[in-house]
A and B are shown apart, each in its own frame.
Chain A
């Protein structure tokens, strides 16, 4: 019989769990979706509404490698049998839009290490880097204007009364609708994309920041006033430091919005970036690659959020939030993944460049006899 503090029940209203319980649940949170996905993908009698034809039949559309609906497969085979022919064989399969986990993992790896088809096309990591830059500039510009404006709105009713109705009006307009306009004004490159992200986040940001500013305990402002703080000092010495942690988490939430708008933004003007990759692979029905692309965005989001969260704890020590085991794990994992990816990318890139160099050298060698004294490496003889 155990004596002492009873273990925390799993379902207790508004009570934190023991560290061990939290760790177990975090593990389940990761493994459970993966297990469901794996079960659906690898266990033949779960779902699998299609048949992948293995051995085809003559005089039939059932050719090896064809993916057909289960019912159609059975009917076609019955027809073949009644016609006295050898029926086709096949294995249960899932639709093309649900690739198995290992295929996505392979696609993820392949996507990074496959050279672009056309010279001058970006590698995946270059596309990603471009997407990140678009997000960064769109969001930074939005924050540079939106945060001060939001703080002013939350602080001075006179400013809020003028700014907020206008902002409230525009924020209901879908940001992508401005895409064509932005292209007309800003050209086809990154500028209109940055503008769409700006429009998508800025107006929300003003209202969210204004609201956060208003949440600050009024008593703190009163205390500061009785200590001699004047208007400007109230803003710089009480409101700004006081709202900083909430402002910080607002920014984390809004950064997620920026990623949502990125997908639309990248389709306007000259399509580029990670969404170009996803779209193109979708059109080619390479759904493993589509999932890989989506997973990349998810991972970037998770990584940034965890980094920002850890940074937040370092920035606001007075908030008394201990670093949880899950965050420590996440930091360890996300610290590990980019290292592996980057190393692989670097290695493959080096290999690619070496092979290109070899190719070039071979060209030169071939061109050399006919024109020994002239360097014409690119043109064949």
Chain B
């Protein structure tokens, strides 16, 4: 078909980008996920949500995890956060096994989860106060993080007075204030409108570039996954062959840094996008499964296409 772009192979990249990946993979490993799986008891007997997922996250790396619904990406991040136990394999942060939630793994949820009874400042101070820091010290540190996410004017506002994007910026500041080793983000921009979402992606990239932070970011949005990531972990939903969520591929994103929304239409970006689509939607299976069993309900001669 002539109207489909001829794209490069998604594994090809510029020498500078390739060199960056070499350096990146030499950095120390922050998070080690080794053959992790989760089986839970259900009414139909033991069900495996996820099995045999392994990957490493290096210091200051930005990893996104993408997959169709049902692939277990939320289960994965909740296990990493320690909010759900894993039943197979191991998860280690800086070599220490993960058991239960802890402040060294900060988390940003899709549903904001700000404490509605606390002001923006108090929300950001929360983790520091839990760690036993004094009120004044916690406050001055919180103020820095609030300034970093551009909300100094709203420091004394309550969450209900903020827009969705602002709430999520507070949630990010709140997680960062704890200086976590890794920031886990569970579809954090999923509830935002397209424009705010794009703005938040830009903010997040700026923060990541300027703050010593490693990010693991879950999303179901292909563009978001590619735009933000150094590497993308692609998870597959259960298929007749593999009856549980599983790791399909870890993609080194060939799009050079610094990233911006203009790159969404670059050939390397689109090549990566096409590859992920193939993985998630099983290549051509999409076009047949998209067909509805239609009966014509319009009059002859009234065609729209």
The chain A residues found within 8 Å of chain B, CB to CB, are 217, 219-220, 222-230, 233, 237-238, 241-242, 244, 316-320
Contact B109 A219 (CB under 8 A): yes
Contact A238 B115 (CB under 8 A): yes
Contact A225 B101 (CB under 8 A): yes
Contact B117 A237 (CB under 8 A): no
Contact A220 B160 (CB under 8 A): no
Contact B130 A229 (CB under 8 A): yes
Q: How far is the CA of A226 from the CA of B106 in the complex (A)?
A: 6
User: Measured between C-beta atoms, what is the minimum distance from B179 to chain A in Å?
Assistant: 11
- Across-interface contacts of B127 in A (CB, < 8 A): 227-228
Instruction: Using A220-B115, A242-B115 as known contacts, say yes or no to A227 and B83 having CB atoms under 8 A apart.
Output: no
Residue of A nearest to B115 (CB): A220
- Across-interface contacts of B126 in A (CB, < 8 A): 224, 227, 229, 237
Q: How far is the CA of A320 from the CA of B130 in the complex (A)?
A: 27
Contact A227 B175 (CB under 8 A): yes
Q: How far is the CA of A229 from the CA of B115 in the complex (A)?
A: 13
Contact B109 A316 (CB under 8 A): no
- Across-interface contacts of A229 in B (CB, < 8 A): 126, 130
Residue of B nearest to A320 (CB): B160
Q: How far is the CA of A224 from the CA of B83 in the complex (A)?
A: 11
Jot down 22 A-B pairs with beta carbons below 8 A, ordered by A: A219-B109, A219-B111, A222-B101, A222-B109, A225-B100, A226-B82, A226-B101, A226-B102, A226-B103, A226-B107, A226-B175, A226-B184, A227-B106, A227-B130, A227-B174, A229-B130, A230-B130, A238-B115, A316-B117, A318-B158, A318-B159, A319-B116
- Across-interface contacts of B129 in A (CB, < 8 A): 237
- Given contacts A226-B106, A320-B161, 17 further A-B pairs with CB under 8 A are A219-B111, A222-B81, A224-B115, A225-B83, A225-B100, A226-B82, A227-B103, A227-B127, A227-B175, A228-B102, A228-B178, A229-B126, A230-B130, A241-B117, A316-B117, A318-B158, A320-B160
- Across-interface contacts of A318 in B (CB, < 8 A): 116-118, 158-160
User: Measured between C-beta atoms, what is the minimum distance from A151 to chain B in Å?
Assistant: 16
- Across-interface contacts of B174 in A (CB, < 8 A): 227
Instruction: Using A244-B117, A318-B116 as known contacts, say yes or no to A226 and B130 having CB atoms under 8 A apart.
Output: no
Residue of A nearest to B160 (CB): A320
The chain B residues found within 8 Å of chain A, CB to CB, are 81-83, 100-103, 105-107, 109, 111, 113, 115-118, 126-127, 129-131, 158-161, 174-175, 178, 184
Contact A226 B117 (CB under 8 A): no
Contact B178 A227 (CB under 8 A): yes
Contact A241 B106 (CB under 8 A): no
Q: How far is the CA of A220 from the CA of B159 in the complex (A)?
A: 13
User: Measured between C-beta atoms, what is the minimum distance from A124 to chain B in Å?
Assistant: 42
Q: How far is the CA of A226 from the CA of B118 in the complex (A)?
A: 17
Contact A226 B115 (CB under 8 A): no
Counting chain B CB atoms within 10 Å of each CB, the highest count among A226, A229, A230, A233 belongs to A226
Q: CB within 8 A of B158: which of A220, A241, A317?
A: A317
Contact B81 A226 (CB under 8 A): yes
Residue of A nearest to B180 (CB): A226
Contact B130 A233 (CB under 8 A): yes
Instruction: Using A228-B102, A228-B127, A228-B130 as known contacts, say yes or no to A223 and B117 having CB atoms under 8 A apart.
Output: no
Residue of B nearest to A222 (CB): B83
- Across-interface contacts of B101 in A (CB, < 8 A): 222, 225-226
User: Measured between C-beta atoms, what is the minimum distance from A376 to chain B in Å?
Assistant: 69
**Ranked 9 nearest A-B pairs via Cβ:** A228-B103, A227-B127, A225-B101, A223-B113, A226-B107, A318-B158, A228-B130, A219-B113, A241-B117
Residue of B nearest to A234 (CB): B130
- Across-interface contacts of B100 in A (CB, < 8 A): 225
User: Measured between C-beta atoms, what is the minimum distance from B100 to chain A in Å?
Assistant: 8
Instruction: Using A219-B113, A241-B115 as known contacts, say yes or no to A228 and B131 having CB atoms under 8 A apart.
Output: yes
- Across-interface contacts of A233 in B (CB, < 8 A): 130
Q: How far is the CA of A318 from the CA of B159 in the complex (A)?
A: 8
Q: How far is the CA of A242 from the CA of B126 in the complex (A)?
A: 14
Q: CB within 8 A of B130: which of A237, A244, A316?
A: A237
Q: How far is the CA of A317 from the CA of B117 in the complex (A)?
A: 8
Q: How far is the CA of A318 from the CA of B174 in the complex (A)?
A: 18
- Across-interface contacts of B118 in A (CB, < 8 A): 241, 318
User: Measured between C-beta atoms, what is the minimum distance from A73 to chain B in Å?
Assistant: 67
Q: How far is the CA of A222 from the CA of B161 in the complex (A)?
A: 23
- Across-interface contacts of A224 in B (CB, < 8 A): 115, 126, 130
Instruction: Using A228-B103, A228-B178, A233-B130 as known contacts, say yes or no to A222 and B117 having CB atoms under 8 A apart.
Output: no
- Across-interface contacts of A225 in B (CB, < 8 A): 82-83, 100-101
Q: How far is the CA of A5 from the CA of B129 in the complex (A)?
A: 48
Residue of B nearest to A317 (CB): B158
- Across-interface contacts of A317 in B (CB, < 8 A): 158
User: Measured between C-beta atoms, what is the minimum distance from A220 to chain B in Å?
Assistant: 6
- Across-interface contacts of A222 in B (CB, < 8 A): 81, 83, 101, 107, 109, 113
User: Measured between C-beta atoms, what is the minimum distance from B56 to chain A in Å?
Assistant: 21
Contact B107 A223 (CB under 8 A): yes
Residue of A nearest to B101 (CB): A225
- Across-interface contacts of A320 in B (CB, < 8 A): 158, 160-161
Counting chain A CB atoms within 10 Å of each CB, the highest count among B100, B130, B159, B178 belongs to B130
Residue of A nearest to B177 (CB): A227
Q: How far is the CA of A226 from the CA of B158 in the complex (A)?
A: 21
Residue of B nearest to A225 (CB): B101
Q: How far is the CA of A230 from the CA of B113 in the complex (A)?
A: 17
Counting chain B CB atoms within 10 Å of each CB, the highest count among A217, A228, A229, A244 belongs to A228
Q: How far is the CA of A328 from the CA of B130 in the complex (A)?
A: 40
Q: How far is the CA of A224 from the CA of B175 in the complex (A)?
A: 10
Q: How far is the CA of A219 from the CA of B113 in the complex (A)?
A: 6
- Across-interface contacts of B81 in A (CB, < 8 A): 222, 226
User: Measured between C-beta atoms, what is the minimum distance from B162 to chain A in Å?
Assistant: 12
Residue of B nearest to A244 (CB): B117
Q: How far is the CA of A225 from the CA of B83 in the complex (A)?
A: 8
Contact B130 A223 (CB under 8 A): no
